[in-house]
Amino acid sequence: MMCIEKILSEGEKHNIEFKSYLNDDHLSKERKQRLVSQMKYRLERGNGKAYYIIGVYDDGKICGLTENKFLETLDVIREVSKEVGAEIKKIEKFNKNGVFARITIENNHEINNKTHIVIGTIGHVDHGKSTLIGTLITGQKDDGSGKTRIFLDFLPHEIERGLTAEIAYAVYGFDDEGNPMKLKNPLNKKEVAGVVDKAKKLISFVDCPGHAPWLRTTIRGILGQKVDYALLVIDASEGVTSITKEHMGIAIAMEMPMIIVLTKMDRVSEEEAKAVEENISILLKKLGRIPYKVKNHDINIENEKIVPILKCSAITKEGFDLLDRVLFKLPDRTKKPEKLEKPFLMYIDKVYSIKGVGTVVTGRVMQGVIENNRDLYLGPFEDGYRKIRGQTIMEHYHYLNRAEAGDVVGIALKNVKKEEIKRGMILSEKEGKKVREFIGDVFILSHPTTIKEGYEPVLHLETISESVRFEEIYGKEYLSVGDRAKVRMRFKYNAYHIEEGEKFIFREGRSKGIGGVEKVL
Q: Which residues contact 278 (CB under 8 A, 6 or more apart)?
A: none
Q: Which of 51-60, 68-77, 146-155, 205-214 has the highest mean pLDDT?
A: 68-77
Q: Which pLDDT does position 184 carry in this prediction? A: 84
Taking 50 as the threshold, does the pLDDT of residue 1 lie above it? Answer: no
Q: What digits encode the pLDDT tens for the residues 385-424?
A: 999 999 889 887 778 888 888 888 899 999 899 999 999 9
| 120 vs 380, higher pLDDT | 380
Would you say 314 and 298 are in contact if contact means Cβ atoms under 8 Å apart? no
Report in angstroms the alpha-carbon separations of 77 from 102, 277, 341, 507: 12, 51, 16, 50
Q: What digits encode the pLDDT tens for the residues 20-48?
A: 999 998 888 778 878 887 888 788 777 67
| 447 vs 461, higher pLDDT | 461
18/250 Cα distance (integer angstroms): 38
Q: Which pLDDT does position 162 carry in this prediction? A: 33
pTM: 0.64
Span 336-345, mean pLDDT? 79
Q: Which pLDDT does position 149 carry in this prediction? A: 64
Q: Which pLDDT does position 155 carry in this prediction? A: 44
Taking 80 as the threshold, does the pLDDT of residue 169 lie above it? Answer: no
Q: Which residues contact 232 (CB under 8 A, 6 or more apart)?
A: 122, 123, 244, 247, 248, 251, 258, 259, 260, 261
Output the CA torsion 58→60→61→67 (10° steps).
80
Q: Which pLDDT does position 163 carry in this prediction? A: 32
43/32 Cα distance (integer angstroms): 16
Q: Which residues contact 326 (CB under 8 A, 6 or more apart)?
A: 259, 294, 299, 301, 308, 310
Would you say 350 and 465 are in contact if contact means Cβ atoms under 8 Å apart? no
Span 302-324, mean pLDDT? 91
337/316 Cα distance (integer angstroms): 42
Q: What letter would DSSP give residue 67?
A: H
Q: Which residues contact 20 (CB under 8 A, 6 or more apart)?
A: 54, 55, 56, 57, 58, 63
Span 230-245, mean pLDDT? 91
319/106 Cα distance (integer angstroms): 35
Span 326-345, mean pLDDT? 80
Compute the mean pLDDT over every residue in the chain, rounded to the nearest whole number: 83
> In sequence order, what are the beta bridge partners of 49?
106
Tell me the domains of the chain and their CATH numbers: 4-107 (3.30.110), 115-329 (3.40.50.300), 338-428 (2.40.30.10), 437-520 (2.40.30.10)
Taking 70 as the threshold, does the pLDDT of residue 90 lie above it? Answer: yes
| 213 vs 355, higher pLDDT | 355
444/441 Cα distance (integer angstroms): 10
Would you say 378 and 345 are in contact if contact means Cβ atoms under 8 Å apart? no
Report in angstroms the alpha-carbon separations of 248 from 196, 245, 460: 30, 5, 17
> What sign has the CA pseudo-torsion 400, 401, 405, 410?
positive
Q: Which pLDDT does position 150 carry in this prediction? A: 60
Q: Which pLDDT does position 491 carry in this prediction? A: 97
Q: What length does the chain have?
A: 521
Q: Which residues contact 296 (CB under 8 A, 6 or more apart)?
A: 322
Q: Average the pLDDT over each of 48-57, 277-286, 450-459, 497-506 and give the range with the smallest value.
A: 48-57
- Cα angle 434, 438, 439 (rounded to 5 degrees) comes to 165
Share of the chain above pLDDT 70, in %: 85
Pair type for strands 437-446 and 458-461:
unpaired
Q: Which residues contact 29 (CB under 8 A, 6 or more apart)?
A: none
Q: Is 471 helix (H, G, I), strand (E, B) or coil?
A: strand
Q: Is 232 helix (H, G, I), strand (E, B) or coil?
A: strand
Span 248-275, mean pLDDT? 90
Q: Which pLDDT does position 111 carry in this prediction? A: 42
